[in-house]
Amino acid sequence: MSKSPVPTPHIGAQVGDIAETVLLPGDPLRAKFIAENFLEDVVEYNTVRGMYGYTGYYKGKRISVQGSGMGMPSIGIYSFELIHFYGVKNLIRIGSAGALSDKLDLYDIVIGMGACTDSNFASQYNLPGTYAPIASYELVEKAVSVAKEQGVDVHVGNILSSDVFYGDEGLDGLRKWTKMGVLCVEMEAAALYMNAARAGVNALAILTISDCPLEGKATTAHERQVAFTKMMDIALNLA
């Protein structure tokens, strides 16, 4: 772990305040919801920039939940600081995603085995080729097992982490990814997977379908904040 001083510029915690397993919802209010409804003996360790962070216990296991914001630059910052300054070993994104596959509907759960991207995030590593960001198999296997125990159907496969929410090609751009079997689109997992791989720690994205852009269906902001509880429960059981 880095010897750089803490708190960091973005996380107002001391070493030891954050558990080795951290859930990363993009929405800080989802982090607050999880802390208030799932965790016991909760301590709030971060309010910097309104990106709430909490540590508590779930079924006797210590776990943290930290808002990570929108987009790869944001989760790139939070995941890097959690890994290198706070010693986090397991980072689990719990986020919303837009369905690209016609096999998915609202509230379905996707486990991101791999994360395609239109981002240039990997260029920092100066690799002599194209890097394929993937989840940690240990967490994928465990998440699938937990879901089966809970009787929850999940879809496991490739996802898209996009740098743009309002792409210039609109739905036509998304349909190109659909042709390649990509299940859904979100904006963070690829950066998380790359930061974790570079540091030798574990990462996984568990996503709930919040909208079906190719069909014109969507959930509300409030539903995205409080109603994606199946995803939360699976992630909490990975600690």
Q: Is 211 considered catalytic here? A: yes
**What is the distance between the alpha carbons of residues 145 and 103, in angstroms, rounded to a whole number?**
21
Task: Name, in order, each residue with C-beta under 8 angstroms of 143's C-beta and a sequence gap of 6 or more.
Answer: 111, 154, 204, 206, 234, 235, 238
141 close to 204: Cβ distance less than 8 angstroms: no
Distance of CA 72 to the CA centre of its chain: 11
Exposed (0-12), middle (13-18) or buried (19+): which is 49, by Cβ within 10 Å? middle
Catalytic residue among 105, 118, 211, 233: 211
Element (H, E) at 209: strand 202-212
**Which active-site residues does the annotation give?**
211
